Amino acid sequence: MSEVKEITEKLKPKDFSTDQDVRWCPGCGDYSILKQVQSVMPDLGHKKEDIVFISGIGCSSRFPYYMETYGMHSIHGRATAIASGLKISRPELSVWIVTGDGDALSIGGNHLIHLIRRNLDVNILLFNNEIYGLTKGQYSPTSPEGKITKSTPMGSVDHPFNPLKLCLGADSTFIARTMDRDPKHQREVLHKGSQHVGTSMIEIYQNCNVFNDGAFEVFTDKSTKAEETLFLEQDEPLIFGKEADKGIWLDGSQPKVVSLADVSKNDLWVHNENDKFKAQLLTTFFDNPAEPEHLPRPFGVFYSEDRYRYEDAVEDQIKEAIDKKGKGNLDEILSGKNVWTVD
């Protein structure tokens, strides 16, 4: 490990930026994410040449062009499938998938859930802006019901996905949420995700200021953030509010917002990211903030679990096969067992 440290210590965030002009719209949330990713990279313990960024199609998917690592900008929805093949064949690499709500959850939905259940050790950065930006503003699978867009002039009749709930349903071993407007929190979550052994799903609320400006404003704006968000800390009670005066109390299996004036801190729900049942409940904190009586939206690591990695199991079988049969001998399988000679 010390050797790796020595090399990575020399790297700086700017060592991870390329000579390509960044082409997102001015003010796009993607800029902040790029910056945070570049700034955590030197601390993650990987050599630059061992890092690969793979993306699909969409605004976010331009990302690899801006990272001075190995990278591939692929086709719509398939980054997860391409990354799977890469990671299975090269388990030692640090593989990052950059995707969006359309790319990951619509056209690429199938690959996403299968990658997650296999638990390949890759990091997924899901830039969720609740809109199709690159194709200029159609509703996406995360757009809320009734969303008016170019393709839904009378409002969307689609019920949206709750991405983290979907991932947990696919037996995700790591789910977390962060936002473009909170760089520090983003860096923390990126760091935790990268340290997780297995598939880390990091949903990032990202503002598309051109086609869906302000979609997450209640969570990101100073004036409402404290009341509308719930930042998860391991072993800490769930407390939120401007004055840190509210908490989440579990009434049986029913989460309720309580005032700390009424309920003692010691009685509040204490966050435990290894508790799957509670994580499932947390993913259901998905209310429309416009509704009265809604729960705050959680950010941070919801859930983390140790489970074997697909690529390790594949390697183990190869080792086992070699132990049993010896390293493959080409001439032996070419001839097979039933040979006859013609002279």
Partner 1 sequence: MAKELEEKKEVTIVFAGDSGDGIQLTGTQFTNTNALFGNDISTFPNYPAEIRAPQGTVAGVSGFQLQFGSIEISTPGDTCDVLVAMNAAAFKVNFASLKKHGTVIVNTDGFSARNLKLAGYESNPLEDHTLDDYRTIQIDVTKMTRSALVDSGMGKKEIDRSRNMFVLGFLYYMYNRNLKGTEEFIKQKFAGKPELIDANIRVLKAGYNFGDTSEIFTSRYNVKAAQLKKGKYRNIMGNQATALGLIAASQKSGLDLFYGSYPITPASDILHELARHKNFGVKTFQAEDEIAAVCSVIGASFGGKLGVTASSGPGIALKGEALGLGMILELPMVVINVQRGGPSTGLPTKTEQADLLQAAYGRNGEAPIPIVAAKSPSDCFDAAYEACKIAIEHMTPVLFLSDGYIANGSEPWKFPQSNKLKEIKPKAAKKEGDYLPYKRDENLVRDWAIPGQKGLEHRIGGLEKEAETGNVSYDPQNHEEMVRVRAEKVAKISNSVPDASIDFGPEKGDLLVLGWGSTFGVIKTAVKDLNEEGLAVSHLHLRNLLPFPNKLAEVLQNFKKVIIPEMNNGQLLSMIRDEFLIDAKGINKIQGVPFSTQEIKAAIKENIATL
Residue 59 binds to ligand SF4 (criterion: CB under 6 A)? yes
Q: What residues from 79 to 108 belong to the interface with partner 1 (CB under 8 A)? A: 81-90, 92-93
Q: How far apart are the first and last CA of the chain?
A: 61
Please calculate the CA angle 291-293-294 and round it to the nearest 5 degrees: 65
Pairing status of strand 254-259 against strand 246-251: antiparallel
Amino acid 87 reads K
Q: Return the residue of 53, 139, 205, 211 that touches ligand SF4, per CB under 6 A.
A: 211
Q: Which of 197, 202, 27, 199 is nearest to 117 (CA)?
A: 199
Nearer to partner 1, 84 or 156 (CB): 84
Residue 324 binds to partner 1 (criterion: CB under 8 A)? yes
Residue 68 binds to partner 1 (criterion: CB under 8 A)? yes
Q: Which long-range contacts (CB under 8 A, 24 or more apart) does 256-260 make?
A: 257/293, 257/295, 257/296
Residue 63 binds to ligand SF4 (criterion: CB under 6 A)? no
Distance CA 316, CA 163 (A): 32
Q: Return the residue of 30, 101, 180, 182 that touches ligand SF4, per CB under 6 A.
A: 30
Nearer to ligand SF4, 140 or 200 (CB): 140
Convert 50-62 to b/e letters by CB count within 10 Å (16 or more is b).
ebbbbbbbbbbbb
Q: Return the residue of 208, 215, 230, 279 that touches ligand SF4, per CB under 6 A.
A: 208
Q: What residues from 20 to 49 belong to the interface with partner 1 (CB under 8 A)? A: 20, 47-49
**Residue 277 interface partner, choices ligand SF4, partner 1, none, CB cut-off 5-8 Å depending on type:** none
Residue 314 binds to partner 1 (criterion: CB under 8 A)? yes
Look up residue 319 and give its two tokens.
Answer: 């080792």
**8 Å CB contact between 71 and 53:** yes
Chain positions contacting partner 1, by CB under 8 A: 18, 20, 47-54, 57, 64-65, 67-75, 78, 81-90, 92-93, 110-111, 114, 314, 317-318, 320-322, 324-328, 330-331, 333-336, 338-343
Chain positions contacting ligand SF4, by CB under 6 A: 24-25, 28, 30, 59, 129, 133, 208-211
